[in-house]
Amino acid sequence: MSAEPTTTWIPAENPELEARIVSLGSYLLSAATTFFFISFLFAFLYLRALNSNGLWGGPKPGHHVPTTTTSGIAILACVLVSVLLVRLALVELRGSTRALWWPACAGALLLGLAAVAIQCWQYTDLGFGTEEGGYASVYLGWTGFFTIFTFGAMLWLETILATARRAPAKAPEVEKSVASFSVFWATLGLVEIAAFILLYGVK
């Protein structure tokens, strides 16, 4: 066993390379996330089509558990506006003024967290139990893991905001990190649109 090692802290060596790595990583993470939620999309369509024992919709054949469309719309709106705000911040960072990117991103963060909060509140007042049919299962799984992914995305966004606040970085670097985040967050936005259409529209 050796003595305490000497640790050198190496800063991100080449910011340009670092940004490319994070950007590519973001695309790959988005692809993986898409495949993760495609599993739930498949589960939805498959179980709905099979309708085994007639129990897709609820605990009795031919019955469908109630859905809470209001909070569904609220979550969808929060996520979509948040995605748009991040895009807006990106436009802002690429433009000449750059004044609004911070409030836009902060707003996006708050809206994302609001989506998480609304979903958690909704679980306490669901109107159906998890065991009541295929729809209930898919609903719980899809929204649950979407909420967890959303929370993770918000941690990432917070990191970007905190870094920029502490050490005012050059605009190109902030722009690249926001751009990478935006890819992932827009992917989750698409997942939420699909979830809304299927879970609240198609049922």
Partner 1 sequence: MRRLVRLNLRTAIAFGIAGFFLGAWVGREIAAGHDYLIGTDQDDVAVFMGFLFATIGWLAGLGFFNYPVSRLLGRPAGYPVEEAKGTARYFRMSTDHKVIGIQYFFGVGAFFLIGGLNAMLIRTELLTPNEKAFPAGQYLTLVGLHGTMMIMMTSAFILGPFGNYFVPLMIGARRMAFPRIEAMTFWLTPLAGLVLMSAIAWNGFPTGWTGYAPLADQARAGMDAYIFAFMLIGISLCLNGLNLMATILTMRAPGMTWTRLPIFVWGVLSTSILMVLASPVLLAALLMGMLDRTANTGFYLASTGGSAYLYENLFWFFGHPEVYILALPGFGIVLEILPVFTRKPLWGYKLAVAGMLGVAFLSFFVWQHHLFVSGINSTLRPFYMLTTEMISVPTGIIFLNGIGTLWLAKMRYTVPMLFSLAFFFNFLIGGLSGIFLSDVPSDVTTHGSYFTMAHFHYTIMGGLVFAFFAATYYWLPKMTGLVLNEKLGKIHFWTMFVFFNLTFFPLFAAGFLDMPRRVSTYAPHLQVINDLVSSAAFCLGISMLIFVGNLIYSLVFARIPAEQNPWHSRGLEWQVPTPVPLHNFDEIPEITGDPYDYGVPGAPPVARLRPASAPARAR
| Options 69-77, 110-118, 138-146, 193-201: segment touching partner 1 (CB under 8 A) | 138-146
Q: Is 136 in the site for partner 1 (CB under 8 A)?
A: yes
Q: Is 9 in the site for partner 1 (CB under 8 A)?
A: yes
| Nearer CB in complex with partner 1: 31/99 | 31
Q: Is 189 in the site for partner 1 (CB under 8 A)?
A: no
Q: Between vectors from CA 157 to CA 151 and to CA 159, what angle results, nearest 5°?
A: 110
* Min separation Cβ 58 and partner 1, Å: 8
**Phi, psi dihedrals of residue 10, rounded to the nearest 5°:** -100, 120
Helix (H) or strand (E) holding 183, with range, is helix 171-196
Q: Is 2 in the site for partner 1 (CB under 8 A)?
A: yes
Q: Is 124 in the site for partner 1 (CB under 8 A)?
A: no
* Helix intervals (H) in 51-199: 69-94, 101-123, 133-166, 171-196
Which tokens go with 5? 């090692």
Which tokens go with 96? 């000449």
| Residues 10-39 interacting with partner 1 (rule: CB under 8 A) | 10-12, 17-18, 20-21, 24-25, 28-29, 31-33, 35-39
**Total residues interacting with partner 1, rule: CB under 8 A:** 62
Q: Is 134 in the site for partner 1 (CB under 8 A)?
A: yes
51 Cβ neighbours under 8 A, 6+ residues apart: 134
* Min separation Cβ 175 and partner 1, Å: 15
d(C-alpha 48, C-alpha 66), whole Å: 16
| Options 92-100, 113-121, 137-145, 190-198: segment touching partner 1 (CB under 8 A) | 137-145
Buried/exposed 25-46: b ≥16 CB within 10 Å, e otherwise: ebeebbeebeeebeebbeebee
Which positions lie near partner 1, rule CB under 8 A? Answer: 1-2, 4-12, 17-18, 20-21, 24-25, 28-29, 31-33, 35-40, 42-43, 46-47, 50-57, 129-131, 133-138, 140-141, 144-145, 155, 158-159, 162-167
